[in-house]
Structure 1
């Protein structure tokens, strides 16, 4: 299907916006961890026994840590901030996907690197394997809009090269 440069840019932008919104929403959830865990604990019966045990462990750790060492949650505040900053990095491709295609490539590389981080740091930090897979799902989910946007940006780049020759 032959799309015009405007159509290609619009399609790439939609996927980039989807990614940016996802990054920001994912980051925002890092702020109220104890409150989110309290909600999970009120609905604990909705989870499998393995997940119940994991959620109970996490809730106890977060609640205890926040009560005794609240400054450690500053780390998750920075995590939330980092998500927003990473989302801002995609303003370049949002404005001009072909010219800033390297940012899309960077994002895809980051999504792939989630896997070694989860599978190396996970066991060191005593994270159950099922939760390591949940963490990896962010890489899978993130790479989809990035790859689609990248494909549109490549097509746009090709059209721009052909136009100048």
Structure 2
């Protein structure tokens, strides 16, 4: 049995140190993305105001959409500020999920289940975006922007998971 393992390692040598380093880089990207998403969910009106003022860099359809969202959010925040409490909880959830991934960053083999959970969550983004998006009248291009988070974070987690599994085998 050890000869089989040695043969496999000579064909595809696994360096546990480099696997751990790459897994941690990928996990750090996910942590950073979740933290940034959380932090930026608090000042939505301010951010949308800034984007509306600097929208010349964006395609026309996106400019119109962001202006519409800003106008709506501005009115809602003036008349019904308590509704933004929902996005505060969204921001909080992103920050808590970022903290969740610290466990796999520290010990990815022991906390592999968090990486698997993350992959499930990022895959579920597509179902939510393509079901709820049309119901909430979200334009397709914005649905694709939302799905891009699942693509990039999912890719990072797949790389991390592959490296963690290689560490388990070595």
TM-score normalised by length of structure 1? 0.91
Structure 1, gaps ≥5 residues long: 160-165
Over the aligned positions, Cα root-mean-square deviation in angstroms equals: 1.2
Paired position in structure 1 for 2:95: 84
Paired position in structure 1 for 2:5: none
Paired position in structure 2 for 1:132: 143
Counterpart among 20, 24, 27 of residue 35 in structure 2: 24
Paired position in structure 2 for 1:41: 52
TM-score normalised by length of structure 2? 0.88
CA distance, structure 1, for counterparts of residue 32 and residue 57 of structure 2: 28
User: For 1:1-165, what aligned pairs fall within 5 Å after superposition?
Assistant: 2-159=13-170
Tell me if the contact between 2:14 and 2:166 (Cα under 8 Å) persists in the aligned partners: no
Runs of 4+ in 1 over 4 A off after TM superposition: none
Structure 2, gaps ≥5 residues long: 1-11
Give the paired residue count.
159
